[in-house]
Amino acid sequence: MWLLIIFSLFIFSKCLSARNPGIRLQITPRGINIVNTVAAVLVSKNAKTMKITNQAGRDINVEYELKDIKIKKFQLGKSSITRYTANSLKWTAENIDLDIDGQYQYKYRRFSVKYSDKGSFTVNFSKMAFKIQIQLGTDSSGRPAVRASQCVHAYGPIKYVFHGGKDWILKLFAEKAIQGIRNKFQNNLCVIVKTLVDKNAQRTVSNVNVKIPLGNSMMVDYRLLSYPSVSTYHLEVDFKGTVLWRYGQTEAPYSAASFPSNYDTTKMAYIAISDYLFNTMFIKLTDTTCLCST
């Protein structure tokens, strides 16, 4: 629910006129942090059920496979969504711990020397991280749009244990196989994170109704006037906020006055509504000429 509300606030528009907005929405870092909390929960939920495919390979004398790879623990230490550029946010997650287990098997063969074995293994990754940029934009109908780009990942110390087998043979492939698991996991995690932004969040914001009916004959135009902007104080979204005839769609002949600056960040969000919105509504309600002709 919160995700729906807040992500739908990541809004922007195509009609980039120089008009003043009828409605201004400012989301403070406290408000953005709610999105972050929800996003972190969703990432964890998706990461825990991630499938990691078998890792098979061969070296000069050894053929190996790691299979039944299961995520036993995924813990996201710290997640934050903050300003990145004037029109984008960055989502950073750090101190990710990941414990994995599975089964291994190998076949070793050198001249007439042959060994084969199998067993279980555990790998614990610590201090993994990812960072992604969230571009804020608008679509052609003045609805908000969000897009993820540049997923960057990192990792920290890795510990692993293989039960059974011959140590000197395990040494031939263990590091390489674990690296394969790590790459798979990190790539999958980036896909999960990008999907959350590009699909889930985008679907939410693009479902925003930018023209909301008001009675039978009027509608409020909530299209965005400009790209949402991000400052250290707020994520700011300016909506047109004009009342239009539902069918004629002619606009009021004057524009809104500008809003005073607001640097307050103690609340989660601020909404300013200009007199203009009420004025345009009043004009429509009293414009009898127009009422007669429709």
Ligand X SMILES: *[C@@H]1O[C@H](CO)[C@@H](O)[C@H](O)[C@H]1NC(C)=O
Q: Interface residues with ligand X (CB under 6 A)?
A: 72-73, 99, 122, 124, 159-161
**CB-wise, 103 or 124, nearer to ligand X?**
124
CB of 239 to ligand X, least distance (A): 49
Structure tokens at 219: 């509608």
Interior CA angle at 244 toward 243 and 247, to 5°? Answer: 155
**CB-wise, 70 or 176, nearer to ligand X?**
70
Q: Which single residue brings its beta carbon nearest to ligand X?
A: 124
**CB-wise, 160 or 259, nearer to ligand X?**
160
Answer for the pair 173, 57: CB distance below 8 angstroms, yes or no: yes
CB of 163 to ligand X, least distance (A): 10
**CB-wise, 97 or 287, nearer to ligand X?**
97
Answer for the pair 93, 132: CB distance below 8 angstroms, yes or no: no
- Give residue 144's identity as a one-letter amino acid code: P
Answer for the pair 241, 220: CB distance below 8 angstroms, yes or no: yes
Range 89-92 contact pairs with CB under 8 angstroms and sequence separation of 24 or more:
89/32, 89/133, 89/134, 89/136, 89/230, 89/235, 90/131, 90/132, 90/133, 90/134, 91/36, 91/39, 91/131, 91/132, 91/133, 91/134, 91/193, 91/197, 92/129, 92/130, 92/131
Any alpha helices (H) in the chain, and if so which ranges?
2-7, 29-48, 167-195, 202-206, 275-286, 288-293
**CB-wise, 30 or 159, nearer to ligand X?**
159
CB of 100 to ligand X, least distance (A): 9
**CB-wise, 120 or 231, nearer to ligand X?**
120
| Cα distances (Å, whole numbers) of residue 239 to 44, 251, 271 | 34, 14, 11
**CB-wise, 157 or 260, nearer to ligand X?**
157
